[in-house]
Chain A
Amino acid sequence: MSKIFPKSANALPLQIVIFLGVLGGVATAGITYYATPAYLRVGYQPVQPVPFEHSLHAGQLGLDCRYCHAAVEKSGTSSVPAAQTCMNCHSIIKPASPLLEVVRQSYATGEPVPWVKVHQTPDYVYFNHSVHVNRGVSCVECHGKVNEMATVYHDQPHSMSWCLDCHRDPAGRVRRPENVFNLDSKRIVDAEGAAKAREFVDLARIKPPTSCSGCHR
Protein backbone atom coordinates (compact mmCIF):
# COMPACT_ATOMS: atom_id res chain seq x y z
CA MET A 1 0.00 0.00 0.00
CA SER A 2 1.49 3.33 -1.09
CA LYS A 3 1.40 6.43 1.05
CA ILE A 4 -1.33 8.96 0.22
CA PHE A 5 0.43 11.92 1.86
CA PRO A 6 4.17 12.50 1.62
CA LYS A 7 6.07 13.01 4.86
CA SER A 8 6.35 16.75 4.28
CA ALA A 9 2.59 16.99 4.74
CA ASN A 10 3.12 16.62 8.47
CA ALA A 11 4.32 20.26 8.61
CA LEU A 12 1.41 21.53 6.52
CA PRO A 13 -1.06 22.42 9.31
CA LEU A 14 1.55 24.63 10.97
CA GLN A 15 2.47 26.24 7.65
CA ILE A 16 -1.17 27.02 6.92
CA VAL A 17 -1.58 28.65 10.33
CA ILE A 18 1.52 30.78 9.71
CA PHE A 19 0.27 31.77 6.28
CA LEU A 20 -3.13 32.76 7.66
CA GLY A 21 -1.32 34.87 10.24
CA VAL A 22 0.69 36.63 7.52
CA LEU A 23 -2.48 37.09 5.43
CA GLY A 24 -4.28 38.63 8.40
CA GLY A 25 -1.37 41.00 9.01
CA VAL A 26 -1.27 42.11 5.38
CA ALA A 27 -5.06 42.62 5.32
CA THR A 28 -4.95 44.68 8.53
CA ALA A 29 -2.10 46.80 7.19
CA GLY A 30 -3.99 47.31 3.91
CA ILE A 31 -7.21 48.40 5.62
CA THR A 32 -5.36 50.70 8.03
CA TYR A 33 -3.53 52.32 5.16
CA TYR A 34 -6.31 52.50 2.58
CA ALA A 35 -9.64 52.56 4.44
CA THR A 36 -8.88 55.59 6.63
CA PRO A 37 -9.29 59.31 5.85
CA ALA A 38 -5.51 59.76 5.57
CA TYR A 39 -5.82 57.90 2.25
CA LEU A 40 -9.49 58.43 1.36
CA ARG A 41 -9.74 62.18 1.98
CA VAL A 42 -6.25 63.67 1.85
CA GLY A 43 -5.47 64.91 -1.63
CA TYR A 44 -9.09 65.52 -2.67
CA GLN A 45 -8.80 68.46 -5.04
CA PRO A 46 -12.13 69.11 -6.76
CA VAL A 47 -12.43 71.19 -9.90
CA GLN A 48 -14.07 74.47 -8.88
CA PRO A 49 -16.47 76.51 -11.06
CA VAL A 50 -14.07 79.47 -10.83
CA PRO A 51 -10.31 78.76 -10.90
CA PHE A 52 -9.78 80.91 -7.80
CA GLU A 53 -6.15 80.87 -6.71
CA HIS A 54 -5.63 81.04 -2.97
CA SER A 55 -1.88 81.19 -3.62
CA LEU A 56 -2.36 84.47 -5.51
CA HIS A 57 -4.90 86.13 -3.19
CA ALA A 58 -3.82 84.90 0.25
CA GLY A 59 -0.19 84.29 -0.66
CA GLN A 60 1.10 86.83 -3.15
CA LEU A 61 -1.32 89.69 -2.34
CA GLY A 62 -1.28 88.92 1.38
CA LEU A 63 -5.04 89.23 1.88
CA ASP A 64 -6.11 88.08 5.33
CA CYS A 65 -8.16 84.87 5.37
CA ARG A 66 -10.94 86.87 7.05
CA TYR A 67 -11.27 89.30 4.15
CA CYS A 68 -13.38 86.62 2.45
CA HIS A 69 -14.13 84.12 5.26
CA ALA A 70 -15.47 86.92 7.40
CA ALA A 71 -17.61 84.93 9.83
CA VAL A 72 -14.86 82.57 11.00
CA GLU A 73 -14.17 84.44 14.25
CA LYS A 74 -17.76 84.69 15.42
CA SER A 75 -19.55 81.73 13.87
CA GLY A 76 -19.31 77.98 13.82
CA THR A 77 -19.06 78.19 10.06
CA SER A 78 -16.23 79.78 8.17
CA SER A 79 -18.45 81.51 5.65
CA VAL A 80 -17.93 81.18 1.93
CA PRO A 81 -18.01 84.77 0.64
CA ALA A 82 -20.80 86.30 -1.38
CA ALA A 83 -20.01 87.25 -4.97
CA GLN A 84 -19.92 90.88 -3.86
CA THR A 85 -16.70 90.14 -1.97
CA CYS A 86 -15.05 89.20 -5.27
CA MET A 87 -16.59 92.21 -7.00
CA ASN A 88 -15.14 94.59 -4.37
CA CYS A 89 -11.97 94.35 -6.42
CA HIS A 90 -13.00 92.63 -9.64
CA SER A 91 -15.44 95.34 -10.67
CA ILE A 92 -12.22 97.28 -11.43
CA ILE A 93 -9.46 94.66 -11.66
CA LYS A 94 -9.86 92.30 -14.63
CA PRO A 95 -13.55 93.25 -14.99
CA ALA A 96 -13.97 91.37 -18.27
CA SER A 97 -11.99 88.22 -17.53
CA PRO A 98 -13.81 85.16 -18.89
CA LEU A 99 -12.67 83.20 -15.83
CA LEU A 100 -14.81 85.47 -13.67
CA GLU A 101 -17.97 85.11 -15.75
CA VAL A 102 -19.58 82.84 -13.12
CA VAL A 103 -18.87 85.40 -10.39
CA ARG A 104 -20.32 88.27 -12.44
CA GLN A 105 -23.41 86.19 -13.16
CA SER A 106 -23.79 85.41 -9.48
CA TYR A 107 -23.41 89.06 -8.55
CA ALA A 108 -25.98 90.14 -11.13
CA THR A 109 -28.60 87.50 -10.43
CA GLY A 110 -28.02 86.61 -6.77
CA GLU A 111 -27.66 82.92 -7.62
CA PRO A 112 -24.78 81.44 -5.60
CA VAL A 113 -21.54 80.35 -7.23
CA PRO A 114 -21.64 76.53 -7.13
CA TRP A 115 -18.38 76.06 -5.19
CA VAL A 116 -17.48 72.46 -4.43
CA LYS A 117 -16.98 71.73 -0.75
CA VAL A 118 -13.57 70.23 -0.06
CA HIS A 119 -13.73 69.56 3.67
CA GLN A 120 -16.91 67.68 4.49
CA THR A 121 -17.60 67.14 8.19
CA PRO A 122 -20.00 64.30 8.97
CA ASP A 123 -23.35 65.58 10.23
CA TYR A 124 -22.82 64.02 13.67
CA VAL A 125 -19.75 66.19 14.28
CA TYR A 126 -20.41 69.66 15.72
CA PHE A 127 -17.25 71.47 14.77
CA ASN A 128 -17.06 75.17 15.56
CA HIS A 129 -14.56 77.37 13.71
CA SER A 130 -14.75 80.39 15.99
CA VAL A 131 -13.90 78.51 19.18
CA HIS A 132 -10.77 77.12 17.52
CA VAL A 133 -9.39 80.28 15.89
CA ASN A 134 -10.11 82.29 19.05
CA ARG A 135 -8.06 79.80 21.10
CA GLY A 136 -4.92 79.93 19.02
CA VAL A 137 -5.60 77.10 16.56
CA SER A 138 -4.43 78.43 13.22
CA CYS A 139 -6.22 77.74 9.93
CA VAL A 140 -3.07 75.98 8.78
CA GLU A 141 -3.40 73.24 11.41
CA CYS A 142 -6.47 71.77 9.71
CA HIS A 143 -6.35 73.17 6.18
CA GLY A 144 -2.65 73.13 5.40
CA LYS A 145 -0.78 75.93 3.67
CA VAL A 146 -3.73 77.25 1.71
CA ASN A 147 -1.69 80.37 0.92
CA GLU A 148 0.53 78.18 -1.25
CA MET A 149 -2.23 76.20 -2.97
CA ALA A 150 -3.25 77.21 -6.46
CA THR A 151 -6.28 74.93 -6.19
CA VAL A 152 -7.29 73.97 -2.66
CA TYR A 153 -6.95 70.32 -1.71
CA HIS A 154 -7.67 68.31 1.42
CA ASP A 155 -4.39 68.49 3.31
CA GLN A 156 -5.08 66.86 6.68
CA PRO A 157 -7.02 63.63 7.34
CA HIS A 158 -9.72 65.15 9.60
CA SER A 159 -10.21 61.73 11.17
CA MET A 160 -11.37 61.47 14.77
CA SER A 161 -8.01 60.24 16.02
CA TRP A 162 -6.42 63.23 14.29
CA CYS A 163 -8.78 65.60 16.14
CA LEU A 164 -7.95 63.88 19.41
CA ASP A 165 -4.19 64.16 18.80
CA CYS A 166 -4.60 67.90 19.29
CA HIS A 167 -7.38 67.79 21.88
CA ARG A 168 -5.10 65.70 24.07
CA ASP A 169 -2.06 67.91 23.50
CA PRO A 170 -3.15 71.48 22.69
CA ALA A 171 0.20 72.89 23.85
CA GLY A 172 1.87 71.19 20.91
CA ARG A 173 -0.32 72.97 18.35
CA VAL A 174 -1.41 76.44 19.49
CA ARG A 175 -0.15 79.76 18.19
CA ARG A 176 -0.20 83.30 19.58
CA PRO A 177 -3.54 84.99 18.76
CA GLU A 178 -1.82 87.45 16.38
CA ASN A 179 -0.38 84.53 14.41
CA VAL A 180 -3.55 82.49 13.97
CA PHE A 181 -4.30 83.89 10.52
CA ASN A 182 -0.67 84.06 9.46
CA LEU A 183 -0.21 80.70 7.80
CA ASP A 184 3.57 81.06 7.70
CA SER A 185 3.86 81.62 11.45
CA LYS A 186 5.23 79.09 13.92
CA ARG A 187 3.54 77.25 16.75
CA ILE A 188 4.46 78.57 20.19
CA VAL A 189 6.18 75.28 20.99
CA ASP A 190 8.46 75.70 17.95
CA ALA A 191 9.06 79.43 18.34
CA GLU A 192 9.34 79.79 22.10
CA GLY A 193 9.58 76.31 23.54
CA ALA A 194 7.29 73.84 25.28
CA ALA A 195 7.21 75.69 28.61
CA LYS A 196 5.82 78.86 27.01
CA ALA A 197 3.29 76.81 25.08
CA ARG A 198 1.99 75.18 28.27
CA GLU A 199 1.89 78.59 29.94
CA PHE A 200 -0.23 79.95 27.08
CA VAL A 201 -2.59 76.99 27.28
CA ASP A 202 -3.03 77.62 31.01
CA LEU A 203 -3.46 81.38 30.68
CA ALA A 204 -5.94 81.12 27.82
CA ARG A 205 -7.69 78.32 29.73
CA ILE A 206 -7.59 76.02 26.74
CA LYS A 207 -9.29 72.82 27.83
CA PRO A 208 -10.30 70.93 24.72
CA PRO A 209 -12.92 68.29 25.45
CA THR A 210 -11.93 64.68 25.00
CA SER A 211 -15.32 63.25 26.00
CA CYS A 212 -17.75 62.08 23.31
CA SER A 213 -20.24 64.84 23.96
CA GLY A 214 -17.61 67.51 23.31
CA CYS A 215 -18.11 67.04 19.57
CA HIS A 216 -21.05 64.62 19.26
CA ARG A 217 -24.43 65.55 20.69
Chain B
Amino acid sequence: MRFAYYTLAFTVVLLVSVMGLRGLRSPRPPIEVFPDMDRQAKYKPQAGSKFFADGRADRPLPAGAVPYGRDGTKADPAFLRADDFRYEGKLADDGFGRGFPAGVEVTEVFVRRGQDRYQIYCAPCHGALGDGNGITKSYGMLTTPTYHDDRLRGMAEGEIFHTITHGKNTMMSYADKLSPDDRWAVVAYVRALQRAAHGKLDDVPAELRGGLK
Protein backbone atom coordinates (compact mmCIF):
# COMPACT_ATOMS: atom_id res chain seq x y z
CA MET B 1 0.00 0.00 0.00
CA ARG B 2 2.82 2.35 0.88
CA PHE B 3 4.16 1.69 -2.59
CA ALA B 4 0.96 3.01 -4.17
CA TYR B 5 1.31 6.33 -2.29
CA TYR B 6 4.96 6.61 -3.35
CA THR B 7 3.93 6.11 -6.97
CA LEU B 8 1.20 8.74 -6.65
CA ALA B 9 3.59 11.26 -5.07
CA PHE B 10 6.14 10.59 -7.81
CA THR B 11 3.47 11.12 -10.49
CA VAL B 12 2.45 14.45 -8.95
CA VAL B 13 6.06 15.65 -8.78
CA LEU B 14 6.62 14.54 -12.38
CA LEU B 15 3.43 16.27 -13.57
CA VAL B 16 4.25 19.56 -11.85
CA SER B 17 7.82 19.53 -13.21
CA VAL B 18 6.59 18.91 -16.75
CA MET B 19 3.52 21.16 -16.73
CA GLY B 20 4.93 23.99 -14.61
CA LEU B 21 2.79 26.50 -12.74
CA ARG B 22 0.00 28.80 -13.85
CA GLY B 23 0.88 32.03 -15.62
CA LEU B 24 4.20 31.01 -17.16
CA ARG B 25 4.92 32.86 -20.42
CA SER B 26 4.96 30.76 -23.53
CA PRO B 27 4.76 31.48 -27.25
CA ARG B 28 2.91 28.20 -27.85
CA PRO B 29 -0.80 28.59 -28.67
CA PRO B 30 -3.14 27.57 -25.83
CA ILE B 31 -4.37 23.98 -25.76
CA GLU B 32 -8.14 23.82 -26.15
CA VAL B 33 -9.51 21.10 -23.90
CA PHE B 34 -13.09 21.11 -25.19
CA PRO B 35 -13.01 22.98 -28.51
CA ASP B 36 -16.68 22.27 -29.27
CA MET B 37 -18.05 25.09 -31.42
CA ASP B 38 -15.14 27.38 -30.47
CA ARG B 39 -14.61 27.94 -34.18
CA GLN B 40 -17.80 28.17 -36.16
CA ALA B 41 -18.34 28.62 -39.88
CA LYS B 42 -18.75 32.38 -39.63
CA TYR B 43 -16.60 35.45 -39.99
CA LYS B 44 -15.71 37.83 -37.22
CA PRO B 45 -14.39 41.37 -37.84
CA GLN B 46 -10.83 41.63 -39.16
CA ALA B 47 -10.61 37.85 -39.46
CA GLY B 48 -9.01 35.83 -42.21
CA SER B 49 -10.83 33.93 -44.93
CA LYS B 50 -9.80 31.04 -47.11
CA PHE B 51 -12.63 31.78 -49.52
CA PHE B 52 -11.71 35.22 -50.78
CA ALA B 53 -8.63 35.63 -52.94
CA ASP B 54 -7.12 38.35 -50.75
CA GLY B 55 -7.52 36.18 -47.63
CA ARG B 56 -9.69 38.67 -45.75
CA ALA B 57 -13.16 38.29 -44.29
CA ASP B 58 -13.71 42.06 -44.27
CA ARG B 59 -14.87 43.01 -47.77
CA PRO B 60 -14.24 46.39 -49.38
CA LEU B 61 -17.22 48.17 -50.95
CA PRO B 62 -17.72 47.07 -54.56
CA ALA B 63 -17.27 49.85 -57.12
CA GLY B 64 -20.42 51.87 -57.63
CA ALA B 65 -22.11 50.92 -54.33
CA VAL B 66 -24.83 53.37 -53.28
CA PRO B 67 -26.64 53.85 -49.94
CA TYR B 68 -29.78 51.78 -49.70
CA GLY B 69 -33.09 52.55 -48.05
CA ARG B 70 -33.05 56.33 -48.16
CA ASP B 71 -36.18 58.12 -47.14
CA GLY B 72 -36.75 60.27 -50.23
CA THR B 73 -39.44 62.44 -48.69
CA LYS B 74 -37.15 64.45 -46.41
CA ALA B 75 -33.99 66.41 -47.03
CA ASP B 76 -31.12 64.34 -45.67
CA PRO B 77 -27.86 66.29 -45.41
CA ALA B 78 -25.90 63.12 -44.65
CA PHE B 79 -27.03 61.46 -47.87
CA LEU B 80 -23.93 60.80 -50.01
CA ARG B 81 -22.24 63.43 -47.86
CA ALA B 82 -23.53 65.91 -50.40
CA ASP B 83 -22.94 68.98 -48.22
CA ASP B 84 -19.40 69.89 -49.23
CA PHE B 85 -18.88 72.34 -46.40
CA ARG B 86 -19.86 69.81 -43.77
CA TYR B 87 -17.98 66.85 -45.21
CA GLU B 88 -15.03 68.46 -47.02
CA GLY B 89 -14.78 71.91 -45.46
CA LYS B 90 -15.25 73.47 -48.92
CA LEU B 91 -17.68 75.97 -50.41
CA ALA B 92 -19.23 75.90 -53.86
CA ASP B 93 -16.42 78.08 -55.28
CA ASP B 94 -13.83 75.53 -54.02
CA GLY B 95 -12.63 77.91 -51.32
CA PHE B 96 -12.59 76.85 -47.66
CA GLY B 97 -15.58 77.76 -45.56
CA ARG B 98 -15.31 79.99 -42.52
CA GLY B 99 -17.28 79.26 -39.38
CA PHE B 100 -19.19 76.03 -38.85
CA PRO B 101 -21.60 74.44 -41.33
CA ALA B 102 -25.34 74.21 -40.80
CA GLY B 103 -26.18 71.25 -38.58
CA VAL B 104 -23.02 71.55 -36.50
CA GLU B 105 -23.87 73.35 -33.30
CA VAL B 106 -20.97 74.54 -31.15
CA THR B 107 -21.98 73.95 -27.54
CA GLU B 108 -19.91 73.30 -24.43
CA VAL B 109 -20.57 69.57 -24.73
CA PHE B 110 -19.41 69.71 -28.34
CA VAL B 111 -16.16 71.52 -27.47
CA ARG B 112 -15.51 69.07 -24.62
CA ARG B 113 -15.96 66.22 -27.07
CA GLY B 114 -13.41 68.00 -29.26
CA GLN B 115 -11.04 68.30 -26.31
CA ASP B 116 -11.38 64.60 -25.58
CA ARG B 117 -10.74 63.60 -29.21
CA TYR B 118 -7.93 66.16 -29.53
CA GLN B 119 -6.09 64.69 -26.57
CA ILE B 120 -6.26 61.19 -28.03
CA TYR B 121 -5.48 61.77 -31.67
CA CYS B 122 -3.82 65.20 -32.00
CA ALA B 123 -1.90 65.87 -28.78
CA PRO B 124 0.83 63.24 -29.45
CA CYS B 125 2.25 65.58 -32.12
CA HIS B 126 0.53 68.96 -31.71
CA GLY B 127 0.87 68.98 -27.91
CA ALA B 128 -1.82 69.41 -25.29
CA LEU B 129 -1.60 73.20 -25.74
CA GLY B 130 -1.48 73.18 -29.53
CA ASP B 131 2.05 74.58 -29.54
CA GLY B 132 3.45 71.77 -31.68
CA ASN B 133 5.49 70.34 -28.81
CA GLY B 134 3.92 66.90 -28.52
CA ILE B 135 5.79 63.84 -27.27
CA THR B 136 6.79 62.91 -30.84
CA LYS B 137 8.93 66.03 -31.17
CA SER B 138 11.62 64.57 -28.93
CA TYR B 139 11.65 61.46 -31.16
CA GLY B 140 12.27 63.32 -34.40
CA MET B 141 8.91 64.71 -35.54
CA LEU B 142 10.28 68.24 -35.94
CA THR B 143 7.92 69.82 -38.47
CA THR B 144 4.76 70.09 -36.34
CA PRO B 145 3.69 73.77 -36.43
CA THR B 146 2.23 75.76 -33.58
CA TYR B 147 -1.40 76.79 -33.83
CA HIS B 148 -0.67 80.13 -32.32
CA ASP B 149 0.94 82.01 -35.20
CA ASP B 150 -0.99 84.34 -37.49
CA ARG B 151 -1.16 81.87 -40.37
CA LEU B 152 -3.02 79.18 -38.42
CA ARG B 153 -5.06 81.63 -36.36
CA GLY B 154 -6.34 83.13 -39.59
CA MET B 155 -6.96 79.78 -41.28
CA ALA B 156 -10.57 79.06 -42.18
CA GLU B 157 -12.37 76.40 -40.11
CA GLY B 158 -13.07 74.55 -43.34
CA GLU B 159 -9.37 74.28 -44.11
CA ILE B 160 -8.59 72.86 -40.66
CA PHE B 161 -11.40 70.34 -41.22
CA HIS B 162 -10.00 69.50 -44.64
CA THR B 163 -6.52 69.00 -43.14
CA ILE B 164 -7.85 66.54 -40.53
CA THR B 165 -9.81 64.72 -43.23
CA HIS B 166 -7.08 64.44 -45.86
CA GLY B 167 -3.85 65.27 -44.08
CA LYS B 168 -1.29 67.82 -45.18
CA ASN B 169 2.48 67.66 -45.70
CA THR B 170 3.75 65.07 -43.18
CA MET B 171 0.39 64.71 -41.43
CA MET B 172 -1.75 61.87 -42.72
CA SER B 173 -5.53 61.59 -42.83
CA TYR B 174 -7.41 61.08 -39.56
CA ALA B 175 -10.70 60.41 -41.33
CA ASP B 176 -10.63 56.76 -40.26
CA LYS B 177 -10.36 57.73 -36.59
CA LEU B 178 -12.57 60.81 -36.37
CA SER B 179 -16.11 60.93 -37.70
CA PRO B 180 -17.03 64.14 -39.60
CA ASP B 181 -18.84 65.51 -36.54
CA ASP B 182 -15.88 64.64 -34.30
CA ARG B 183 -13.61 66.47 -36.73
CA TRP B 184 -15.74 69.61 -36.40
CA ALA B 185 -15.57 69.18 -32.62
CA VAL B 186 -11.78 69.08 -32.84
CA VAL B 187 -11.83 72.21 -35.04
CA ALA B 188 -13.89 73.94 -32.34
CA TYR B 189 -11.40 72.86 -29.68
CA VAL B 190 -8.44 74.04 -31.79
CA ARG B 191 -10.16 77.44 -31.95
CA ALA B 192 -10.55 77.31 -28.15
CA LEU B 193 -6.82 76.55 -27.74
CA GLN B 194 -5.93 79.47 -30.02
CA ARG B 195 -8.22 81.77 -28.09
CA ALA B 196 -6.74 80.61 -24.80
CA ALA B 197 -3.15 81.11 -25.93
CA HIS B 198 -3.91 84.73 -26.75
CA GLY B 199 -6.29 85.24 -23.89
CA LYS B 200 -6.20 88.22 -21.58
CA LEU B 201 -7.19 88.44 -17.96
CA ASP B 202 -10.44 90.12 -18.97
CA ASP B 203 -11.46 86.99 -20.92
CA VAL B 204 -11.72 85.01 -17.67
CA PRO B 205 -14.97 85.55 -15.75
CA ALA B 206 -14.25 87.25 -12.42
CA GLU B 207 -15.61 84.37 -10.33
CA LEU B 208 -13.31 81.86 -12.05
CA ARG B 209 -10.13 83.93 -11.79
CA GLY B 210 -9.02 82.71 -8.39
CA GLY B 211 -5.45 83.86 -7.91
CA LEU B 212 -4.96 84.54 -11.63
CA LYS B 213 -3.28 87.88 -12.32
Residue of B25, B26, B28, B46 near A79 (CB, 8 A) is B46
In whole angstroms, what is the CA distance A115 to B172 when docked? 23
Looking at chain B, what size class is its interface with the partner chain?
35 or more
Is the beta-carbon distance between A70 and B124 smaller than 8 angstroms? no
Is the beta-carbon distance between B23 and A43 smaller than 8 angstroms? yes
Is A28 positioned at the interface, with any CB of B under 8 Å from its CB?
no
**What are the residues of chain B within 8 A of A41 when measuring CB–CB?**
30
In whole angstroms, what is the CA distance A75 to B173 when docked? 21
Most buried by B among A42, A44, A87, A92: A92
Q: Given the interface contacts A42-B23, A43-B24, does A89 sit within 8 Å of B141 by beta carbon?
A: yes
**What are the residues of chain A within 8 A of B140 when measuring CB–CB?**
92-94
CB distance from A127 to the nearest CB of B (A): 10
Is the beta-carbon distance between B39 and A123 smaller than 8 angstroms? yes
Partner-contacting stretch, out of A61-69, A191-199, A204-212: A61-69
Is B198 positioned at the interface, with any CB of A under 8 Å from its CB?
no
Is B50 positioned at the interface, with any CB of A under 8 Å from its CB?
no
Is B8 positioned at the interface, with any CB of A under 8 Å from its CB?
yes
In whole angstroms, what is the CA distance A45 to B25 when docked? 6
Q: Given the interface contacts A43-B25, A88-B172, A122-B38, does A93 sit within 8 Å of B30 by beta carbon?
A: no
Is the beta-carbon distance between A61 and B25 smaller than 8 angstroms? no
Is the beta-carbon distance between A46 and B124 smaller than 8 angstroms? no
CB distance from A124 to the nearest CB of B (A): 5
Is the beta-carbon distance between B29 and A35 smaller than 8 angstroms? no
Is B136 positioned at the interface, with any CB of A under 8 Å from its CB?
yes
**Majority-rule SS of B interface residues:** loop
Name the residue on B nearest A38 (C-beta): B22
Is the beta-carbon distance between B12 and A26 smaller than 8 angstroms? yes
Once A and B bind, how many residue pairs between them come within 8 Å at the CB atom?
113
Is the beta-carbon distance between B172 and A40 smaller than 8 angstroms? no
**Majority-rule SS of A interface residues:** loop
CB distance from A29 to the nearest CB of B (A): 9
Q: Given the interface contacts A44-B30, A92-B141, A124-B40, does A87 sit within 8 Å of B22 by beta carbon?
A: no
Contact string against B for A residues 88-128, beta-carbon threshold 8 Å, 1 for contact and 0 otherwise: 11011110000000000000000010000000101110000
Is B177 positioned at the interface, with any CB of A under 8 Å from its CB?
yes
Is A214 positioned at the interface, with any CB of B under 8 Å from its CB?
no
Residue of A39, A63, A120 near B22 (CB, 8 A) is A39
Most buried by A among B135, B143, B177: B177
**What are the residues of chain B within 8 A of A30 when measuring CB–CB?**
12, 15
In whole angstroms, what is the CA distance A44 to B121 when docked? 30
Name the residue on A nearest B56 (C-beta): A112
Contact string against A for B residues 1-44, beta-carbon threshold 8 Å, 1 for contact and 0 otherwise: 10011001000100100010011111111111100011110101
Within 8 A of A (CB), among B121-173: 121, 124-125, 135-136, 139-141, 143, 170-173
Q: Given the interface contacts A62-B135, A92-B170, does A40 sit within 8 Å of B46 by beta carbon?
A: no
Is the beta-carbon distance between A122 and B29 smaller than 8 angstroms? no
Is A19 positioned at the interface, with any CB of B under 8 Å from its CB?
yes
Within 8 A of A (CB), among B39-87: 39-40, 42, 44-46, 56
- The residues of A with any CB-CB pair to B shorter than 8 Å are 12, 15-16, 19, 22-23, 26, 30, 33-35, 37-47, 61-64, 66-67, 70, 75-77, 79-80, 82, 84-85, 87-89, 91-94, 112, 120, 122-124, 153-154
- The residues of B with any CB-CB pair to A shorter than 8 Å are 1, 4-5, 8, 12, 15, 19, 22-33, 37-40, 42, 44-46, 56, 119-121, 124-125, 135-136, 139-141, 143, 170-173, 176-177
Sample of 6 more A-B contacts, CB < 8 Å, known A19-B8, A89-B141, A93-B141: A30-B12, A40-B32, A42-B22, A42-B23, A89-B124, A123-B39
